[in-house]
Amino acid sequence: MMGFTARGRWLDLTTPAVMGIVNVTPDSFSDGGLFALPDQAAAHARQLFEQGAAIIDVGGESTRPHATPVSVDEQLSRVIPVIERIHQQLDVMISIDTSEPLVIEAAVRAGAHLVNDVRGLRRPGALEAVAFSGAGVCLMHMQGEPDSMQQNPTYVDVVGEVIDYLAGRIEACLALGMDRKSLMIDPGFGFGKTLTHHEQLFYRLGEFATLDCPLLVGVSRKSMLGAWTGRPVTQRLYPGVAAAAIAVSRGAKIIRTHDVAATVDAVRVGAALRDPLEG
């Protein structure tokens, strides 16, 4: 059966799933005292869960283009109280968006099931932290680092290079004894790619099936939607929903989004219009 498993929890992907984004950064919620931030983030997670998110992705480190890094202590103080609350309150799969081994370990202890790492577990100790904890992982492709990745992204064959990179990261996980059913893959839209690169990846999304792991796509509110429609970031709901439906019709099994309710419907449409012969 098509699915994903992490720390004993099974996620059925015979119908594609939505991953809802909970950013725990002081600027994403109002500042109202010591517990206001984690309580508001947990309340937001509940809202996304009620809208149909099967996974909640908790992040305390901004990885947007030009972002400045957040210290490990700061990440821990942001995300751990939120993961604890979600774990206590909701029957949902929890993802921790981080590249840091210490954050991975603490997040898994607090209840996280998988690690969503834009660096594909390349930081020293990250792969081991995931493998030894029994967590799953979303392996994403990124060329460069967030502070500079959009300066001059260069590929000869973007689709081939992203697939080869992900194949190598899958092999690294399997070599440490991880279960293939605990891995998902992601081409990393917005991470060291031009508009043309994004279009190539979208046209040829079907080729990622050769990697034999569930494919996650994250395009929510991203700049390519602005390039295709002329919309500013505050008006990219409809373009994001359209892109999500198309991604699912081309084989994506998980869509990562800020806009869960609308994306749940988009995913249903994409799944209905997927060629059953393609699986």
Active site residues: 222, 256
Of 37, 92, 118, 137, the residue at the interface with ligand 8Y7 (CB under 6 A) is 118
Give CA angle at 159 (144, 169), nearest 5°.
60
Residues in 259-278 at the binding interface with ligand 8Y7, rule: CB under 6 A = none
Smallest separation (angstroms) from ligand 8Y7 to the CB of 34: 26
Contact 246, 270 (CB under 8 A): yes
Burial 76-87 (b: 16+ CB within 10 A, else e): bebbbbbbbbbb
Q: Which stretch binds ligand 8Y7 (CB under 6 A): 35-43, 56-64, 98-106, 165-173?
A: 56-64
The set of long-range contacts for 45-51, using a CB threshold of 8 Å and a minimum separation of 24, is: 45/20, 45/82, 45/85, 45/86, 45/90, 45/92, 46/89, 46/90, 48/20, 48/21, 48/22, 48/260, 49/20, 49/90, 49/92, 51/20, 51/260, 51/261, 51/264
Residue 256 near ligand 8Y7 by CB under 6 A: yes
CB of 190 to ligand 8Y7, least distance (A): 6
186 lies in the site for ligand 8Y7, by CB under 6 A = yes
Q: Which of 4, 29, 189, 208 binds ligand 8Y7 (CB under 6 A)?
A: 189
Among 16, 20, 38, 59, binds ligand 8Y7 (CB under 6 A): 59
The least CB distance from residue 67 to ligand 8Y7, in Å, is: 9
* Positions 197 through 226 that interact with ligand 8Y7 (CB under 6 A): 216, 218, 222
Region binding ligand 8Y7 by CB under 6 A among candidate stretches 41-49, 173-181, 188-196, 234-242: 188-196
CB 190 within 8 A of CB 65: yes
Contact 44, 148 (CB under 8 A): no
Gap between the Cα atoms of 49 and 29, Å rounded: 18
Figure out which of the listed residues 24, 60, 63, 101 binds ligand 8Y7, where binding follows CB under 6 A. Answer: 63
Give the relative orientation of helices 260-272 and 237-249 as an angle to the nearest 10 degrees: 30
CB of 164 to ligand 8Y7, least distance (A): 18
Does position 116 interact with ligand 8Y7 (CB under 6 A)? The reply is: yes
DSSP tag of 68: P
With binding defined as CB under 6 A, does residue 48 bind ligand 8Y7? no
CB-based contact 135:112 (threshold 8 Å)? yes
Residues within the interface to ligand 8Y7 (CB under 6 A): 59, 63-64, 97, 116, 118, 138, 140, 186, 188-190, 216, 218, 222, 256
